[in-house]
Structure 1
Amino acid sequence: MSAAPSAQLARLLAGYRRFRQTGWNPNRERWATLREGQQPEIMVIACSDSRVDPAQIFDVDPGEIFVVRNVAAMVPPFETSPGLHGVSAALEFAVQVLGVREIVVLGHGLCGGCKAALTQELQGAERGEGGFIADWIALLDDAREPVVAAHGTSGREAERAMELAGVKASLGNLRTFPCIRRKERDGELRLTGAFFAISDGILHVLDETSGDFRPAT
């Protein structure tokens, strides 16, 4: 006899049953088309934070967006050194195979990864005890410097500035990929920075000319 599911798994299974009734069965034609493959035109790079699901924020159907989520919605710079380059592989697939037309980097308020990058509280931690996180968010070290100079290392103003700087850092790193740089130059691909404020539910979009994030209209 199999063991009863945990309370957490039972909650997921209840959600699955609701999905079958309200999401799968009424939309069988759409699911049938997705069996032939996917053709999303938009890639979203977002944080793993459980409060900021891109599909929910943008109210999209399955097959509409290709999503990569990681701590602090980070994109590493292009490099060819040996290693496991998960984000880079996803970018390569989205841009070169799926041919997405837009990449959106979606930061968010109250981001724990950005806060840790700001405070450097995990610096020196052993891997498996915070060290993997510290290594990853070190991608924000350069972006951190002007934030600390202007706002210090604590408080909501400093944290918000770090969250916005993280979006800009990932956009900059996207442009180190030759295929992305070429497609953006040729008008085949657009890069957009965005920020979702958990506190008020408002999406902000980056104006790269001014450097400001403005509420979406």
Structure 2
Amino acid sequence: MDHLPKRLLSGYRQFMSGRYAAETARYRELAAKGQSPETMVIACCDSRAAPETIFDTGPGELFVVRNVANLVPPYEPDDRHHSTSAALEFAVQSLKVKHIVILGHGRCGGIRAALDPTAEPLSPGDFIGRWMGLVAPAAEAVAGNSLMTSGERQTALERISIRYSIANLRSFPCVKILEDKGRLTLHGAWFDISSGELWVMNRETGDFQRPELD
């Protein structure tokens, strides 16, 4: 029989003797009654920026979708496969979340690829290249700014892409209608892996600011 990597098995043992043992009642309640998270987080699949870790949440608290560079595509009701759109639809229509957070992060590989048009595709299908085409106009504008350092361009596009994703969220009728009714709030946030700093987007100006932590 094939075995999982040893690190995963040892982690599972620690989970069962630690967190699961301490929260058994919570897990059983979730199993019996289902999930009802109030917040959806659309985050990058980068292993260094896990939302559950950053926000120190327990089981059932966050509905998380992760993809390359935490992007939201525009509303396209066609016959293609749209995993992020499907998850968004489920969160809004079925779970009735009250908040959607686009969580970006520093040193994002997808954003770095978008800023480097000369990079070789990773595969003949170039899935990452096509996916990052969602922010191509902004990437071209930022990449052409010679007054910024490469690090500044990277951070700029990481944050601009969050604003792009929020704009695309509003192209979904179910999101726009509920936001206009005050039943759904959209948020943007950016996490610095190196320092642990969290920057939150001001919904009125689009600027990123450090939140006050009480």
> TM-score band, normalised by the shorter chain?
over 0.9
Task: Provide the secondary structure at the position in 2 that maps to 1:194.
Answer: strand
Counterpart pick for 1:61 among 37, 52, 58: 58
Q: CA deviation at 1:209?
A: 2.1
Q: CA deviation at 1:145?
A: 3.4
2:141 aligned with 1:120, yes or no? no
2:160 aligned with 1:162, yes or no? no
Aligned to 1:172: 167
Aligned to 1:12: 8
Aligned to 1:26: 22
Aligned to 1:133: 128
Counterpart pick for 1:73 among 70, 75, 83: 70
Aligned to 2:199: 204
Q: CA deviation at 1:151?
A: 4.8
Q: CA deviation at 1:214?
A: 0.5
Deviations 1:1-60 (A, max 9, x none): x46x47xx1011000000000011121110111011000000000000000000000000
Deviations 1:151-175 (A, max 9, x none): 5796101111111111111111101
User: Percentage identity across aligned positions?
Assistant: 45
Aligned to 1:147: 142
Letter in 2 for 1:193: G
Letter in 2 for 1:102: H
Task: Provide the secondary structure at the position in 2 that maps to 1:150.
Answer: coil
Q: CA deviation at 1:130?
A: 6.6
How far, CA to CA, are the matches of 1:207 and 1:151 in structure 2?
27
> For the Cα contact (< 8 Å) 1:183–1:189, is it kept in 2?
yes
How far, CA to CA, are the matches of 1:52 and 1:207 in structure 2?
21
Q: 1:136 to 1:154 in 2, by over 3 A?
A: farther
Counterpart pick for 2:180 among 159, 181, 185: 185
Equivalent pairs counted in the alignment come to 211
How far, CA to CA, are the matches of 2:147 and 2:173 in structure 1?
35
Task: Provide the secondary structure at the position in 2 that maps to 1:104.
Answer: strand
Task: Provide the secondary structure at the position in 2 that maps to 1:40.
Answer: coil
Q: TM-score, length-normalised on structure 1? A: 0.92
Unaligned runs of 5+ in 1: none
After alignment, is 143-152 or 198-207 more displaced? 143-152
Letter in 2 for 1:150: N
Q: CA deviation at 1:80?
A: 1.3
Deviations 1:147-203 (A, max 9, x none): 234357961011111111111111111010011000000001000000001121010
How far, CA to CA, are the matches of 2:87 and 2:34 in structure 1?
16
Deviations 1:104-154 (A, max 9, x none): 00000000000101112446x37x357011010000112223323435796
Letter in 1 for 2:107: L
